Amino acid sequence: MTVLHLADAGEAADLAAFLSRLLHYDRAAAVRLQAAGTALAVFGRPPSFEVLAIRAVRLAKPYENGLDVTLDVTVSVGELLESVDEKAATATVPAAVTGPPWAGVLPPRGGWRPEPGLPSPEVLRATVAASVAEFRSRAEELAPERRTRGELDRIGREIWSRTVGTTRLPLRAVHAAQSLGFVRPAVTGGTRAPDEEPPGLFSSGAWLRLRTPYGSVAVRGAGLGALDVSVR
């Protein structure tokens, strides 16, 4: 049995919150876990957003016996969530499951370059809020016979495929980051906390990655390069 010793109770609580949000979008969700040393990366793909979500978790030590080995396994989100003990700051890795197709293609480990043009966190939050309101307004304006799943999906694709600021990042990535708790609500006064690092945008080959202090969202898109991916 593989036991992960998390750095502290806060790391355990954040991991549980991330897993809970993934389950909200897919009750049969799976995550791929990759750990080496005292770092654990948790990869998930909420189907509503068509992005890859990445949560980095700090470990106190790699495994139950402190072995200097790596971990790479795909597991059930629900089973992993049930094993998280926030008080003890531990999580037991459940039995491996057959991974979904996305789990075989992950962003590259290195080669990330900063991308300019990302708006401030305040603008990002406002843009997502305005887009959600636009979707609801356009859906309500549809005649009942036209308010089909196909038409709603079409409106959603149109809105969430728009790019952010002067970047190539689709708006759906920011929406996903906010929905997963990676872009937090503004503090009193409408701004971020003074010591909070703002989100950053990075690219590597075919991938774009929106990185925040709480997690990352990665998207792989046409026109960003064709072959620079990692199949692990």
pLDDT for the residue 75: 97
pLDDT per position in the chain (232 positions), as tens?
Answer: 789 999 999 999 999 999 999 999 999 999 999 998 889 999 999 998 889 999 999 999 876 766 667 899 999 999 999 999 999 999 999 999 998 999 999 999 889 999 999 999 999 999 999 999 999 999 999 999 999 999 999 999 999 999 999 999 999 999 999 999 998 776 545 555 545 688 999 999 999 999 999 999 999 975 443 333 333 3
pLDDT for the residue 232: 34
Nearest to 117 by CA among 159, 163, 162, 160: 163
pLDDT for the residue 1: 75
Residue with tokens 């929106």: 210
CATH of range 3-104; options 3.40.1000, 3.20.19, 3.10.150, 3.30.160 = 3.10.150
pTM of the model: 0.87
Determine contact, residues 25/76, Cβ cutoff 8 Å. no
Q: What is the 3-state secondary structure (H, E, C) of the chain?
A: CCEEEECCHHHHHHHHHHHHHHHHHCCCCEEEEEEECCEEEEEECCCCCCCEEEEEEEEEECCCCCCCCCEEEEEEHHHHHHHCECCCCEEECCCECCCCHHHHCECCCCCCEECCCCCCHHHHHHHHHHHHHHHHHHHHHCCHHHCCHHHHHHHHHHHHCCECCCCCCEHHHHHHHHHCCCCCCCCCCCCCCCCCCCCEEEEECCEEEEEECCEEEEEECCCCCCCCCECC
Q: What residues does CATH 3.10.150 cover in the chain?
A: 3-104
Determine contact, residues 128/136, Cβ cutoff 8 Å. no
